[in-house]
Amino acid sequence: MAILGLKTSDEQGKEEETFHYPTSKNALIIFTRNPELGKCKTRLAATVGDEAALDIYKFLLKHTVAITSPLRADKFVYYSVKLRSEDLWDPVVYSKKIQHGDDLGVRMENAFKEVFNLGYERAIIIGSDMYDMTANDIDNAFEQLKTDDFVLGPAEDGGYYLLGMKKINSDIFYNKKWGTDTVLSDTLKNLKEEKVALLDEKNDVDYYEDIKNIDAFQGFFPEELRKK
C-alpha cells in the first residue's frame, strides 16, 4: 500500500510530498543534529573543545549508521535544522525529514504521529550519539513491543536513550525538564497504567566524564585529557 508521505527534494533541504511504501511494520526514528562546529555536543565541548566535540559527534553518527542500517525496519532520520541530500545517511536506506516543534517533546510527538500515520504498527525513537547502543538493543526493543505497549531504554543520567510505542500517549511528551535526571521517572509516572518494558541501563554521551575512560575516544581528546 502506498501512502502519501514526505521526503527531501533539493539542496535547500526542503520537503515535498511523495508516495511512501512501508516495507515493515516497524519504524525506527533517528533524531540527529546537523554536525556543525560549535553547535553540537556543547556540554562535551566545554571540556574537550569545539573541534574535538564535533569530531566525536561525527564518530558517534557513523556508529549509529553502522548499527541501524542492517535493521529490519523502515528508517527515518529527522534533522534538527536542515536536510542534507548528500551525507552519511544513505537515502536508499533512510528517509530524511525535518523535526518540527518548539521543544524536544513536541518534536518527538510529531515524529511519532507522522510515522504512525504512514501505517506503521510499532515505532521507536533514538538519538544519534549512543556509543553503548547495539543493533541487538534495538531489535530487542521491537520484540518487546509485540507484547508491551511501550519500551524505554534508561540512561545512567536519569533520562532515556530509546523510546518505543504502539500508540501515542501525549502525556509523556509534555511537562518534562528535558536533559535533566527526572525525565525517565516522570515518563514512567505517565505510563503507570500501561504495559511498559525496560531495557538495560546504558551510558549516554553528554559530558567528558561520560567517555573519559573509553579507549575509542582517547584519540579525540587533547593530550592533557587522555588516559595515561
CA distances for 19 relative to 7, 136, 228, angstroms: 9, 30, 55
Residue from 172, 202, 200 nearest 186 by CA: 172
Is residue 181, in this structure, part of any structural domain at all?
yes
Calculate the average pLDDT of the chain. Answer: 89
Model confidence at 7: pLDDT above 60? no
Is residue 14, in this structure, part of any structural domain at all?
no
What was the pLDDT predicted at 40? 85
Model confidence at 1: pLDDT above 50? no
Long-range contacts of 65-69 (CB under 8 A, 24+ apart): 65/89, 67/133, 67/134, 67/135, 67/138, 68/28, 68/30, 68/126, 68/135, 68/138, 69/93
Is residue 70, in this structure, part of any structural domain at all?
yes
What was the pLDDT predicted at 5? 45
**How many domains, the chain?**
1
pLDDT, average across residues 90-99? 93
The CATH code of the domain that includes 31 is 3.90.550.10
Residue 14's CB is within 10 A of a number of other CB atoms, namely 11
User: Backbone phi, then psi, for 221, in 5-degree steps?
Assistant: -80, 150
What was the pLDDT predicted at 33? 87
Beta strands 150-154; 94-98: pairing state? unpaired
Is residue 10, in this structure, part of any structural domain at all?
no
Model confidence at 9: pLDDT above 50? no
What was the pLDDT predicted at 96? 93
pLDDT tens string 139-181? 999 999 999 999 999 999 899 999 999 999 999 999 999 988 9
Residue from 75, 107, 103, 105 nearest 89 by CA: 75
Q: How confident is the model at residue 8 (pLDDT cuts 50, 70, 90)?
A: very low
Q: Where are the alpha helices (DSSP H) in the chain?
A: 42-48, 50-68, 104-117, 135-144, 183-190, 208-211
Is residue 16, in this structure, part of any structural domain at all?
no
Percent of the chain at pLDDT exceeding 90: 77
CB 23 within 8 A of CB 5: no
Instruction: Give the whole-angstrom CA distance, residue 20 versus residue 10.
Output: 18
The larger pLDDT score, comparing residue 24 to residue 105, is at 105
pTM (predicted TM-score): 0.90
Is residue 31, in this structure, part of any structural domain at all?
yes
pLDDT tens string 101-150? 999 999 999 999 999 999 999 999 999 989 999 999 999 999 999 999 99
Instruction: Give the whole-angstrom CA distance, residue 228 versus residue 221.
Output: 12
Is residue 1, in this structure, part of any structural domain at all?
no
Beta strands 122-126; 94-98: pairing state? unpaired
pLDDT, average across residues 196-220? 93
Query: What is the extent of the structural domain holding 207?
Result: 25-225
Is residue 123, in this structure, part of any structural domain at all?
yes
What was the pLDDT predicted at 13? 52
Model confidence at 48: pLDDT above 70? yes
